Protein backbone atom coordinates (compact mmCIF):
# COMPACT_ATOMS: atom_id res chain seq x y z
CA UNK A 1 0.00 0.00 0.00
CA UNK A 2 2.68 2.50 1.06
CA UNK A 3 4.89 1.51 -1.91
CA UNK A 4 2.02 2.08 -4.28
CA UNK A 5 1.46 5.54 -2.77
CA UNK A 6 5.16 6.45 -3.08
CA UNK A 7 5.22 5.21 -6.69
CA UNK A 8 2.14 7.21 -7.53
CA UNK A 9 3.58 10.34 -5.84
CA UNK A 10 6.86 9.98 -7.78
CA UNK A 11 4.92 9.65 -11.03
CA UNK A 12 2.86 12.76 -10.34
CA UNK A 13 6.04 14.70 -9.51
CA UNK A 14 7.71 13.50 -12.73
CA UNK A 15 4.58 14.30 -14.78
CA UNK A 16 4.46 17.83 -13.37
CA UNK A 17 8.13 18.34 -14.21
CA UNK A 18 7.60 17.11 -17.79
CA UNK A 19 4.47 19.21 -18.32
CA UNK A 20 6.36 22.24 -17.06
CA UNK A 21 9.22 21.47 -19.49
CA UNK A 22 6.69 21.01 -22.30
CA UNK A 23 4.97 24.35 -21.63
CA UNK A 24 8.25 26.27 -21.30
CA UNK A 25 9.55 24.62 -24.49
CA UNK A 26 6.38 25.44 -26.44
CA UNK A 27 6.52 29.05 -25.27
CA UNK A 28 10.19 29.31 -26.29
CA UNK A 29 9.37 28.01 -29.79
CA UNK A 30 6.46 30.46 -30.15
CA UNK A 31 8.66 33.39 -29.12
CA UNK A 32 11.48 32.38 -31.45
CA UNK A 33 8.91 32.47 -34.28
CA UNK A 34 7.79 35.95 -33.23
CA UNK A 35 4.48 34.71 -31.76
CA UNK A 36 3.52 35.55 -28.19
CA UNK A 37 1.39 32.46 -27.41
CA UNK A 38 2.22 28.83 -28.20
CA UNK A 39 -0.14 26.82 -30.41
CA UNK A 40 -0.35 23.06 -30.97
CA UNK A 41 2.53 23.24 -33.47
CA UNK A 42 4.82 24.66 -30.76
CA UNK A 43 3.81 21.84 -28.38
CA UNK A 44 4.70 19.45 -31.21
CA UNK A 45 8.22 20.96 -31.37
CA UNK A 46 8.55 20.91 -27.57
CA UNK A 47 7.53 17.23 -27.35
CA UNK A 48 10.80 16.32 -29.08
CA UNK A 49 12.80 18.06 -26.37
CA UNK A 50 11.36 16.09 -23.45
CA UNK A 51 14.03 13.95 -21.77
CA UNK A 52 12.16 10.64 -22.36
CA UNK A 53 12.94 10.85 -26.12
CA UNK A 54 9.80 8.89 -27.08
CA UNK A 55 8.54 11.48 -29.58
CA UNK A 56 11.81 11.14 -31.50
CA UNK A 57 11.54 7.35 -31.37
CA UNK A 58 8.03 7.52 -32.88
CA UNK A 59 9.39 9.54 -35.81
CA UNK A 60 12.31 7.12 -36.18
CA UNK A 61 9.80 4.28 -36.53
CA UNK A 62 8.41 6.20 -39.52
CA UNK A 63 11.86 7.12 -40.88
CA UNK A 64 11.04 10.80 -40.51
CA UNK A 65 13.65 13.37 -39.48
CA UNK A 66 12.17 15.36 -36.59
CA UNK A 67 14.58 18.26 -37.19
CA UNK A 68 12.46 19.21 -40.21
CA UNK A 69 9.37 20.20 -38.19
CA UNK A 70 10.14 23.91 -37.96
CA UNK A 71 10.62 24.17 -41.71
CA UNK A 72 7.46 22.10 -42.28
CA UNK A 73 5.46 24.59 -40.17
CA UNK A 74 6.74 27.39 -42.40
CA UNK A 75 6.04 25.33 -45.54
CA UNK A 76 2.41 24.70 -44.60
CA UNK A 77 1.95 28.49 -44.22
CA UNK A 78 3.60 29.00 -47.62
CA UNK A 79 1.26 26.38 -49.19
CA UNK A 80 -1.81 28.00 -47.63
CA UNK A 81 -0.74 31.48 -48.74
CA UNK A 82 -0.02 30.21 -52.28
CA UNK A 83 -3.57 28.90 -52.28
CA UNK A 84 -4.70 32.41 -51.36
CA UNK A 85 -2.95 33.73 -54.47
CA UNK A 86 0.16 35.30 -52.88
CA UNK A 87 3.49 35.21 -54.66
CA UNK A 88 6.68 33.64 -53.24
CA UNK A 89 8.28 37.06 -52.90
CA UNK A 90 5.39 38.56 -51.01
CA UNK A 91 5.09 35.53 -48.70
CA UNK A 92 8.81 35.59 -47.90
CA UNK A 93 8.69 39.32 -47.17
CA UNK A 94 5.54 39.26 -45.06
CA UNK A 95 6.25 36.10 -43.07
CA UNK A 96 9.42 37.74 -41.76
CA UNK A 97 9.31 38.08 -38.00
CA UNK A 98 11.35 39.43 -35.15
CA UNK A 99 12.07 36.96 -32.40
CA UNK A 100 10.61 37.89 -29.03
CA UNK A 101 13.81 37.70 -27.03
CA UNK A 102 12.79 39.25 -23.74
CA UNK A 103 9.05 38.71 -23.19
CA UNK A 104 7.23 40.50 -20.39
CA UNK A 105 6.70 38.24 -17.41
CA UNK A 106 3.06 37.14 -17.41
CA UNK A 107 0.87 34.12 -16.75
CA UNK A 108 1.37 31.23 -19.14
CA UNK A 109 -1.14 31.48 -21.98
CA UNK A 110 -1.67 29.61 -25.23
CA UNK A 111 -3.71 29.87 -28.42
CA UNK A 112 -6.94 27.79 -28.50
CA UNK A 113 -5.12 24.90 -30.23
CA UNK A 114 -2.48 24.96 -27.48
CA UNK A 115 -5.25 24.89 -24.86
CA UNK A 116 -6.80 21.89 -26.62
CA UNK A 117 -3.47 20.02 -26.43
CA UNK A 118 -3.11 20.69 -22.69
CA UNK A 119 -6.75 19.86 -21.93
CA UNK A 120 -6.62 16.54 -23.79
CA UNK A 121 -3.26 15.68 -22.18
CA UNK A 122 -4.72 16.39 -18.75
CA UNK A 123 -7.75 14.19 -19.42
CA UNK A 124 -5.69 11.28 -20.78
CA UNK A 125 -3.23 11.66 -17.88
CA UNK A 126 -6.03 11.15 -15.37
CA UNK A 127 -7.04 7.84 -17.01
CA UNK A 128 -3.50 6.49 -17.34
CA UNK A 129 -1.25 5.02 -14.68
CA UNK A 130 2.01 5.28 -16.61
CA UNK A 131 4.29 8.32 -16.84
CA UNK A 132 3.54 11.18 -19.26
CA UNK A 133 5.93 11.28 -22.25
CA UNK A 134 6.54 13.09 -25.53
CA UNK A 135 4.74 10.25 -27.36
CA UNK A 136 1.57 11.18 -25.43
CA UNK A 137 1.86 14.72 -26.80
CA UNK A 138 2.15 13.25 -30.31
CA UNK A 139 -0.90 11.08 -29.56
CA UNK A 140 -2.95 14.19 -28.78
CA UNK A 141 -1.68 16.05 -31.85
CA UNK A 142 -2.35 13.02 -34.08
CA UNK A 143 -5.99 13.19 -32.98
CA UNK A 144 -6.27 16.75 -34.37
CA UNK A 145 -7.68 16.72 -37.87
CA UNK A 146 -7.29 20.40 -38.77
CA UNK A 147 -5.02 23.29 -37.92
CA UNK A 148 -1.35 24.15 -38.29
CA UNK A 149 0.01 21.10 -36.41
CA UNK A 150 -2.09 18.66 -38.46
CA UNK A 151 -1.10 20.36 -41.71
CA UNK A 152 2.56 20.34 -40.68
CA UNK A 153 2.49 16.55 -40.28
CA UNK A 154 0.84 16.24 -43.71
CA UNK A 155 3.52 18.48 -45.27
CA UNK A 156 6.14 16.14 -43.75
CA UNK A 157 4.51 13.24 -45.60
CA UNK A 158 3.28 11.57 -42.41
CA UNK A 159 0.12 9.52 -42.78
CA UNK A 160 -2.12 9.92 -39.78
CA UNK A 161 -2.93 6.18 -39.53
CA UNK A 162 0.79 5.25 -39.68
CA UNK A 163 1.58 7.85 -37.03
CA UNK A 164 -1.09 6.45 -34.70
CA UNK A 165 0.31 2.91 -35.14
CA UNK A 166 3.88 4.11 -34.43
CA UNK A 167 2.69 5.96 -31.30
CA UNK A 168 0.79 2.89 -30.06
CA UNK A 169 3.87 0.71 -30.67
CA UNK A 170 6.10 3.15 -28.78
CA UNK A 171 3.71 3.40 -25.85
CA UNK A 172 3.26 -0.39 -25.60
Partner 1 sequence: MTTLNSLPHPSDPAEALAAVSSLRLMADKLERNAVSEAVQQGWTWAQIAEALDITRQAAHKRHAEFINNKER
Question: Residue 109 Cβ, how far from partner 1 at the closest point, in Å?
Answer: 13
Burial of 44 by CB count in 10 Å (0-12 exposed, 13-18 middle, 19+ buried)?
buried
Under the binding rule (CB under 8 A), the answer on residue 86 touching partner 1 is yes
Query: If residue 79 lies in a helix (H) or strand (E), which one and from where to where?
Result: helix 69-83
Q: Which of 11, 28, 61, 77 binds partner 1 (CB under 8 A)?
A: 77
Tell me how far apart the alpha carbons of residues 82 and 71 are, in angstroms, rounded to a whole number. Answer: 16
Under the binding rule (CB under 8 A), the answer on residue 42 touching partner 1 is no
Q: Which is nearer to partner 1, 34 or 51 (CB)?
A: 34
For the chain, first and last CA: distance in Å?
26
Q: Which is nearer to partner 1, 52 or 79 (CB)?
A: 79
What secondary structure does DSSP assign to 80-112, as a single string?
HHHHTT--HHHHHHHT------SPPP------H
Tell me how far apart the alpha carbons of residues 32 and 18 are, in angstroms, rounded to a whole number. Answer: 21
Among the listed ranges 7-15, 50-58, 99-107, 124-132, the one in contact with partner 1 (CB under 8 A) is 99-107
Under the binding rule (CB under 8 A), the answer on residue 102 touching partner 1 is yes
Q: Which of 96, 127, 129, 161 binds partner 1 (CB under 8 A)?
A: 96
Per-residue binding string, partner 1, 121-160, x by CB under 8 A, is: -------------------------xxx--x---------
- Contact positions vs partner 1 (CB under 8 A): 34-35, 76-77, 79-81, 83-87, 90-91, 94-98, 100-104, 146-148, 151
Amino acid sequence: MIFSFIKSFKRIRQDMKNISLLCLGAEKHAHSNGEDKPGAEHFLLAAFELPDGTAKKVFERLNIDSTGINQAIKNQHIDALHNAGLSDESIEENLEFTEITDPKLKLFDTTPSGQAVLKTLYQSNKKRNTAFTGAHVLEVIASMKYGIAARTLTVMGIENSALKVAIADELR
